[in-house]
């Protein structure tokens, strides 16, 4: 059981602050990997909360592999995002304010595989083909980065 799950035993659904990593995987067509989340039925980016004794890069590597089956040899930090736009309430009522460390995965290998039950689908989307039901924190990231996001792939090693 993870750190957040253990903490929830004591505080219930009340708001907490969670530090974590979100990962961008950009393919050769400059499309970004999204996951169709099983908990909210929305589309989001792979990522999750830090466990005790982990670095943020370890969080990024673990979450990328758990949620997509992919492995990256390196992660470049794009930015840190926090505040009211990154508040989230899970379907079970748990409230969270996330501090997102957004990374782009470099030297990615492996085969897409939904390993942990958190995804219903894994799909690459381009800027003009995004699904309508994007999770709120992912929407905030997309809005914060605007057009810069869709040009990241040209300056990084791609999948």
DSSP 154: G
80-103 pLDDT per residue, tens: 999 999 999 999 999 999 999 999
What number of other Cβ atoms are within 10 A of residue 131's Cβ? 12
DSSP 83: S
What number of other Cβ atoms are within 10 A of residue 151's Cβ? 12
Residue 155: what pLDDT?
A: 45
- How many domains does one find in the chain? 1
Cα–Cα distance list, 55 to 20, 50, 62 (Å): 10, 8, 11
d(CA 60, CA 23): 6
Residue 152: what pLDDT?
A: 62
d(CA 92, CA 152): 35
Mean pLDDT of the chain: 90
Q: Is 149 strand, coil or helix?
A: helix
Containing domain of residue 50, as a range?
3-155
pLDDT interval class at 116 (50, 70, 90): confident
DSSP 31: -
Q: Tell me the CATH number at 130.
A: 3.90.79.10
Rg over alpha carbons for the chain, rounded to the nearest Å, is: 15
Assess whether pLDDT exceeds 60 at residue 58.
yes
Mean pLDDT, residues 24-45: 93
Residue indicated by tokens 């004794």: 53
Assess whether pLDDT exceeds 90 at residue 118.
no
Residue 143: what pLDDT?
A: 87
């Amino acid at each position: 059981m993870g750190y957040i799950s253990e903490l929830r035993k004591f505080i219930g659904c009340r708001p907490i602050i969670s530090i974590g990593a979100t990962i961008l995987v950009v393919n050769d067509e400059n499309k970004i990997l999204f996951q169709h989340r099983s908990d909210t039925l929305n589309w989001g980016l792979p990522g999750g909360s830090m466990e005790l004794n982990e670095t943020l890069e370890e969080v990024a590597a673990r979450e990328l592999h758990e949620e997509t089956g992919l492995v990256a040899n390196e992660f470049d930090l794009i930015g840190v995002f926090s505040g009211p736009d990154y508040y989230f309430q899970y379907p079970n009522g748990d409230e969270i304010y996330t501090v997102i460390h957004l990374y782009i995965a470099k030297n990615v290998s492996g085969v897409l595989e939904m390993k942990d039950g958190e995804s219903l689908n894994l799909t690459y989307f381009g800027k003009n083909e995004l699904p309508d039901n994007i999770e709120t924190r992912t929407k905030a990231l997309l809005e914060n980065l605007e057009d810069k996001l869709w040009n990241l792939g040209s300056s990084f090693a791609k999948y």
